[in-house]
A and B are shown apart, each in its own frame.
Chain A
């Protein structure tokens, strides 16, 4: 009964989304106010119905209702409760439902936090979001109904893919989807502005916090995915340039370009049509990523069950959404004035360069991801890209981006002088050259130059941002500490958010550089009682024993790790066989630290109590994810800036008045 209710709720949500797509937009074009005011209640209603459907599916998982096909395929009575819940999005149909839930959640959030926006804008934005939602509801109801029944009812479910039975992966998709779907808000604002023909600084200020929040979620989602790959695949890698990873990286890259370009549009009313194009692209790439993952046109380690019918549906959907919005862009954008002129050396130019680099990187990733398809379509022959190709491209672009990142925030809007800029930044430059010299002295061969370069670039970012902060505080009367506190509680949050995010980039660079060049890994065969010394750590293998988990059996190794004579960690790596079948899983054991991880993963039993195993020493590996966390934190700080709150506070009065009238 409950699954049918869920199904019904989805149908209602579709009907509401259809009304939401049509009525407010029509109202905004004809000046029909009652129709426009329908937008908010419809968005709330849509959210409520999707939430009902979602809860119905969660319930089916919790009570192990195997009469629901999707539950039978992805759950099992032995599965711990937390993974029963995360199993809801462990497969295709449930992922879509989660996506739809978030989509309507963003719609409801826009309704709730848009009191300061003119009604026609809200109406159009919610209409566009309604249109996108229709696509997802139709997709679910026509090709991927999560509530489909199964008869006869199997006594036991098939179990969730063991790879997905992990906390990191349980929360990774929701974060990622929040980001993907969040870009639909920026997209909707852009389309609404194109429809209304009013692209101005106000539009940029409205969409900025939404875009940044979406970007924060996406950043966290990608970082979680990378962290998960690191500890769960047992291979010590943190990024594989897998099509699915690339699918999430592309919207992130364009989204990063977008949040920077929105800054220009807000402050200087420039780059308007370019910003709109980026907003369309960020969401389009999110959709494209979905297509690539769901349709099976590319094979990947992450691949969900693939189905050409679904692929075709998404492709048609893509054509309508992306094709339609790009056509609208081609039609309306030429009328947009290109505001604010700027000099060759100015903040605008720096951000333009930033945008070009990010877009170039996106194009390269897109090309690399689609290369197999391109090859196939044109029979070009001889095209092959893989991990090394992507790494090469990344290394070719990243240093320029880092150099620019140290200069950009120091430049003045509109026009700047080289002499002023030099005067502000020479110290940072000199210091990082010093760092470069110091670190290169220890480098032995040419290959080792990447380490000094990476460290010097990170130092450059750190020093230049310190100088930039100093420059901002220099003109204030108080001591620097009070000035900073006052600035932070005043209008400075978006500035400090930027600084924090940029320092996150520096941290990320250090992590990537160190772990790529200085990690040590050893493959060994060890007998119980053996010791092995690596990177100043001594690993003592005490033996392996069988242990039983709730839904798996495992061989568990027991290691003591010593630094000198002091025991610093006790590690229990496992090799698990899940009762539901499938391949055995490696659970690496990691002693995490700020400056290094030591990591043991169990290979095969080679007889006589001996095991093949792999030891890793991973210097600074945490800095990769901490860097990403800092970027996300920076975004969160920026969103809390007072000028967005002021806009909201100012608007509560009229909103109250409207409420009183109604």
Chain B
């Protein structure tokens, strides 16, 4: 009896996997609700990547709209979205704040030197200390934070033109109207 049960194990594991995939399929991976949406950003303070004497913290996210972009030099999709961020950095309605996540400062700085620096400032979080509180589980991720420092939206995956035009830009416009 117990012997035949043993051979059912693979089927059971597969069943669990399917349930997981069904749940995954039902959700658009780029629209995962974050438990943090509608809440103030968790308090934090990190050294600035390019200038470790300065720090980046939750206070820096108040007073204007911020896109908090989680990135790392080892992340392929981040390289993909880097061009889009460079273009967005020319706009003045918001600031782009980087969260350099689980990365090596040397590699991260190299990326900025090579491909340009779209970030107004960059928190350096090599050990996932701040990422943990923000519920970051991959890179790239982008949080939209309003003028009062409240997280309003979280985008998972690279930002491209479509994402910007269809989702983020309207949201930023709305936040700007709210703030005015």
Any chain B CB within 8 A of the CB of A467?
Answer: no
Partner of B138, one of A315, A384, A603, A604: A384
Contact in complex: B102, A521 (CB < 8 Å) = no
Flag B129-168 by CB within 8 Å of A: 1 or 0 each: 0011001111100000000000000001110000000000
- Closest-by-CB residue of B relative to A324 is B11
B50 adjacent to chain A (CB < 8 Å): no
A386 and B139 contact, CB distance less than 8 A? yes
> Are B72's CB and A386's CB within 8 A?
yes
User: Are A373 and B24 in contact (CB-based, < 8 A)?
Assistant: yes
A408 at the binding interface (Cβ < 8 Å): no
Which residues of A sit under 8 angstroms from B75, Cβ to Cβ?
Answer: 240, 386-387
B110 and A583 within 8 A (CB): no
Residue A608 interfacial (CB < 8 Å) = no
Instruction: Knowing A312-B25, A330-B7, A377-B20 are in contact, say whether A383-B137 is a contact too (CB < 8 A).
Output: yes
Residues of A in contact, count (CB < 8 Å): 59
Question: Is A57 in contact with chain B by the CB < 8 A criterion?
Answer: no
| Cα A329 to Cα B7 with chains together (Å) | 7
Partner-binding segment picked from A290-298, A339-347, A450-458, A644-652: A290-298
Q: Contacting A301 at CB < 8 Å: which of B24, B76, B136?
A: B76
In the complex, chain B residues whose CB is within 8 Å of the CB of A273: 7
Q: Decide if A277 is an interface residue (CB 8 Å cutoff).
A: yes
The answer, yes or no, to whether A233 is at the interface (CB within 8 Å) is yes
The answer to whether B3 and A315 have CB atoms under 8 Å apart is no
Q: A residues within 8 A CB of B156? A: 299
Contact B77 A315 (CB under 8 A): no
Q: Could you tell me if B25 and A308 are in contact, using CB atoms closer than 8 angstroms?
A: yes
Q: Is B120 an interface residue (CB 8 A)?
A: no
Contact A376 B21, CB 8 Å, known A386-B138, A387-B74, A614-B114: no
Is the Cβ of B83 less than 8 Å from the Cβ of A311? no
CA distance A50 to B153 in the complex (A): 47
* Per-residue contact bits, chain A 601-624, to B (CB 8 Å; 1 contact, 0 not): 101100000001110000000000
Q: Could you tell me if B80 and A384 are in contact, using CB atoms closer than 8 angstroms? A: no
- Cβ contacts A307-334/B at 8 Å (1 or 0 each): 0100110010011001100110110011
List of B residues within 8 angstroms of A240 by Cβ: 74-76
Contact with A along B65-105 (1 / 0, CB 8 A): 00000001011110110010000000000000000011000
Contact assessment for A612 and B137 in the assembled complex, using a CB-CB cutoff below 8 Å: no
Q: How far is the CA of A3 from the CA of B180 in the complex (A)?
A: 57
Asked whether B137 lies within 8 Å of A323 as measured between CB atoms, the reply is no
Contact with B along A363-404 (1 / 0, CB 8 A): 000000011111111010111101110000000000000000
Chain A residues lying within 8 Å of B29, measured Cβ to Cβ, are 296-299, 372, 376
Asked if B18 and A318 sit within 8 Å, CB to CB, the answer is: yes
Q: Are B14 and A372 in contact (CB under 8 A)?
A: no
Question: What are the interface flags for A269-303 relative to B under an 8 Å C-beta threshold, 1 for contact and 0 otherwise?
Answer: 00001000100110010001001000111111100
Please tell me if A570 contacts chain B, counting CB pairs below 8 Å. no
Residue A200 interfacial (CB < 8 Å): no
- Whether A311 contacts B23 in the complex (CB less than 8 A), given A299-B158, A384-B138, comes out as no
Check A333 against B80 for contact (C-beta < 8 Å).
Answer: no
Contact check, B137 vs A334: say whether CB atoms are below 8 A apart. Answer: no
B22 interface residue per 8 A CB criterion? yes
Scoring B residues 13 to 50 as 1 if CB is less than 8 Å from chain A, else 0, what string do you get? 01101111111110111101001000000000000000
Q: Is B64 an interface residue (CB 8 A)?
A: no
The 8 Å CB contact of A326, one of B10, B20, B109, is B10
Cα A613 to Cα B113 with chains together (Å): 9
Chain A at the B interface: mostly helix, strand, loop or mixed? helix
Cβ of B139 and Cβ of A603 under 8 Å apart? no
Interface residues on B, range: 35 or more
Q: Is A237 an interface residue (CB 8 A)?
A: yes
Question: Least Cβ distance of A482 to chain B in Å?
Answer: 49
CA distance A326 to B83 in the complex (A): 46
B169 contacts partner chain A, Cβ-Cβ < 8 Å: no
Interface flag for A656 (CB, 8 Å): no
Q: How far is the CB of A511 from chain B (nearest CB, A)?
A: 19
CB of A242 within 8 Å of the partner chain: yes
Q: A residues within 8 A CB of B52?
A: none
**Chain A nearest CB, measured from B29 CB (Å):** 5
Instruction: Flag whether B170 is at the interface (Cβ < 8 A).
Output: no
Q: Does B115 contact A (CB under 8 A)?
A: yes
Contact B22 A299 (CB under 8 A): no
Q: Of residues B25, B30, B115, which shows the largest number of chain A Cβ atoms within 10 Å of its Cβ?
A: B25
Instruction: Please state if A523 and B72 are interface contacts (CB–CB under 8 Å).
Output: no
The residues of A that contact B135 with a CB separation of less than 8 Å are: 381
* A322 partner residues in chain B, CB cutoff 8 A: 14
Most chain A CB within a 10 A radius of its CB, from B22, B29, B30: B29
Interchain CA distance A318-B10 in the complex, whole Å: 14
Looking across the interface, which residue of chain A has its beta carbon closest to that of B104? A388
Are A375 and B137 in contact, with the CB atoms below 8 A? yes
Q: Which of B7, B20, B77, B128 is close to A299, meaning CB atoms less than 8 Å apart?
A: B77
* Contact indicator B21/A523 (Cβ below 8 Å): no
Q: Are B11 and A384 in contact (CB under 8 A)?
A: no
By a CB distance below 8 angstroms, the chain A residues around B177 are none
Mark each residue of chain A from 504 to 517: 1 if its CB lies under 8 Å from any CB of chain B, else 0: 00000000000000
Residue of B nearest to A297 (CB): B24
Q: Bound complex: CA of A583 vs CA of B83, how far in Å?
A: 7
Q: Is A235 interfacial (CB 8 A cutoff)?
A: yes
Query: Which residues of chain A come closer than 8 Å to B109, judged between CB atoms?
Result: 523
Contact check, A584 vs B83: say whether CB atoms are below 8 A apart.
Answer: yes
Task: Assess the A384–B157 pair: CB atoms within 8 A.
Answer: no
Q: Report the minimum CB–CB distance from A161 to chain B (whole Å).
A: 11
Cβ of A233 and Cβ of B18 under 8 Å apart? no
A333 partner residues in chain B, CB cutoff 8 A: 7
Assess whether B179 is interfacial by the CB under 8 Å rule: no
A377 x B77 contact (CB < 8 A): no
Interfacial chain A residues near B63, Cβ < 8 Å: none
- Bound complex: CA A300 to CA B80 (Å): 10
Question: Which one of A300, A301, A604 contacts B116 once the chains associate, using CB atoms below 8 Å?
Answer: A604
Q: Given A288-B17, A373-B20, 18 more contacts at CB 8 Å? A: A233-B76, A240-B75, A280-B10, A281-B10, A284-B14, A297-B21, A299-B156, A299-B158, A312-B25, A315-B22, A330-B7, A334-B4, A334-B7, A386-B72, A386-B74, A387-B72, A388-B102, A521-B110
In the A-B complex, the 4 residue pairs with the smallest Cβ-Cβ separation, listed nearest first, are: A301-B76, A299-B157, A603-B114, A297-B24
Show 6 residue pairs from A and B whose CB-CB distance is below 8 angstroms, ordered by the A residue.
A299-B138, A326-B14, A377-B19, A386-B74, A387-B75, A521-B110
